């Protein structure tokens, strides 16, 4: 049969068997019976005509200027960054180089040895295109990887695949997710659950353990926090009695990234020397960031609290501080105040320019994640050069940094995640951004030069000094 893109899918019908001799050594078999599940695409970003505050465009120069990445900053060649893809999302090298030309970037073409899985450059997808362009375009010098799982695989297969791969990339950007409570209730997740003989909660616990093992290898996992607010994609009209955290964003062993935006009303400054890709666009070089809103961006940033994982020690103070701050909260029975809170940080997620055969703006936490991953890839390369060790699991140092050096982040205090991708029904609930950490934009958006200073001091090295 063919999938919705016309690509042929070969599967067996009926049951299959495993010889008794080898059965005790097999965890599960994947890729022979199950089918991929369609996923809503990125938002084609455009401002709501009924709202006067129109959006401005974000390009790589906008990110580097606003997030204070010093000119000429590069990652060392001893670090690497990968995007993780599913659902037959491929990229076209020609589009990647066109993106580089449009925005005056130097992007080294990906080699075949750094493509895990099969890429079809004749059939590029918007998600993979965005991920590759910003992950590699914003981390010059880092070795770029493209990692695409079989359409039948989901997070457990991905995690075990990463853990067993040597060498593996140091930084992963994951822009996919689904309701934590329904990991076993949809296509590829359901098939993995059957093979593991687990329910959704048990599946999440098991994958969390695999993510923890990956962090112990010195690998950093970053995940988009989701695009349907606190209610989640499985409850677009807000009819359920509880909120639905997005997974893997709400895993305690993943760095979750929420989304922000800049509007014309926020004191936006245009780039003084815009690249060719900004011709006819108001590419920002400054302005006030707020949490994305449905009215402007047509989605709300995912965030909230896990029903499965308890609050990890690295964020206990941050979560308790938010819950006691006096900020308006959803009814207590709708969320787990003792759970892992997410996201951890945020970045631009609206009106981000990509080249998909021509320039177009897109939106979603799918934008925020590779942007943030790229900045950490640079820091990771500098740390490896100075100490010989990677940063690994990022959240402990992020939370320490936010307390010890608050100016390492721009605190986002305006916005909420009450809406879904369908809009804002009167029954929708969610969280509000406020001073400090919040389950809308985490600690806020990066201030790269201050992050660089703090991490260097924390590790006893000067990350700004030339390599010895």
> Which residues are marked as active site?
127, 131, 366
CB atoms under 10 Å from CB of 155, counted, come to: 29
DSSP state of 312: P
C-alpha atoms less than 13 angstroms from C-alpha of 128 in its C-beta half-sphere:
25
CB atoms under 10 Å from CB of 294, counted, come to: 21
Residue 132: alpha-carbon gap to chain centroid? 13
283 contact partners, CB below 8 Å, separation of at least 6:
56, 57, 58, 59, 61, 62, 270, 271, 274, 275, 277, 353
Q: Is there a contact between 252 and 393 (Cβ–Cβ < 8 Å)?
A: no
Closest CA to 443 of 257, 314, 288: 257
DSSP state of 344: -
Closest CA to 37 of 88, 97, 108: 88
Phi, psi angle pair for 302, to nearest 5°: -65, 150
Helix H or strand E segment including 202: helix 200-216
Alpha-carbon separation of residue 7 from 3, 30, 89, 112, 151 (angstroms)? 6, 19, 12, 22, 11
Q: What is the 3-class SS of 61-121, one letter each residue?
A: HHHHHHCCCCCCCCCCCCCEEEEEECCCCECCHHHHHHHHHHCCCCCCCCCHHHEECCCCC
CA angle, 102 as apex, 132 and 369 as ends, to 5°? 30
Over its C-alpha atoms, the chain yields an Rg (Å, rounded) of: 21
């Amino acid at each position: 049969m063919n999938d919705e893109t016309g690509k042929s899918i070969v599967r067996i019908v009926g049951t299959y068997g495993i010889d008794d001799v080898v059965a005790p050594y097999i965890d599960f078999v994947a890729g022979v019976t199950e089918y991929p599940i369609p996923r809503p695409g990125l938002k084609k970003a455009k401002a709501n005509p009924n709202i006067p505050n129109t959006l401005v465009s974000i390009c790589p120069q906008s990110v580097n200027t606003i997030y204070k990445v010093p000119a000429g900053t590069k990652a060392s060649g001893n670090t690497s960054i990968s995007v993780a893809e599913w659902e037959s999302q491929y990229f076209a090298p020609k589009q990647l180089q066109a993106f580089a030309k449009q925005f005056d970037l130097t992007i080294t073409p990906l080699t075949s040895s750094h493509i895990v899985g099969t890429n079809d450059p004749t059939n590029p997808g918007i998600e993979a295109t965005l991920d590759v362009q910003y992950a590699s375009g914003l981390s010059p010098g880092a070795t770029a990887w493209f990692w695409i799982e079989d359409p039948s695989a989901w997070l457990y297969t991905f995690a075990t695949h990463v853990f067993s791969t040597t060498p593996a990339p140091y930084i992963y950007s994951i822009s996919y997710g689904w309701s934590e409570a329904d990991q076993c209730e949809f296509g590829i997740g359901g098939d993995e659950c059957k093979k593991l003989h687990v329910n959704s909660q048990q599946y999440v616990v098991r994958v969390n353990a695999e993510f923890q093992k990956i962090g112990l290898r010195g690998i950093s996992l970053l995940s988009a926090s989701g695009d349907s607010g606190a209610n989640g994609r499985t409850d677009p009209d807000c009819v359920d009695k509880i909120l639905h955290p997005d997974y893997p964003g709400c895993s305690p062993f993943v760095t979750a990234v929420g989304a922000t935006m800049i509007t014309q009303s926020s004191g936006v400054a245009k780039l003084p020397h815009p690249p060719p890709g900004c011709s006819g666009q108001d590419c920002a070089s400054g302005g006030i960031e707020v949490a994305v809103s449905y009215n402007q961006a047509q989605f709300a940033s995912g965030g909230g609290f896990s029903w499965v994982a308890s609050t990890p020690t690295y964020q206990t103070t941050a979560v308790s501080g938010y819950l006691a701050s006096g900020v308006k909260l959803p009814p207590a029975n709708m969320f787990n105040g003792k759970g892992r809170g997410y996201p951890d940080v945020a970045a631009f997620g609206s009106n981000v320019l990509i080249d998909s055969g021509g320039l177009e703006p897109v939106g979603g936490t799918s934008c925020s994640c590779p942007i943030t991953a790229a900045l950490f890839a640079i820091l990771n390369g500098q740390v490896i050069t100075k100490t010989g060790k990677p940063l690994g699991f990022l959240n402990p140092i992020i939370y320490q940094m936010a307390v010890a050096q608050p100016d390492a982040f721009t605190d986002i205090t305006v916005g909420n995640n009450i809406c879904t991708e369908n809009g804002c029904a009167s029954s929708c609930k969610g969280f509000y951004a406020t001073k400090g950490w919040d389950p809308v934009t985490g600690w806020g958006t990066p201030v790269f030069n201050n992050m660089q200073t703090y991490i260097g001091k924390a590790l006893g090295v000067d990350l700004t000094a030339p390599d010895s």
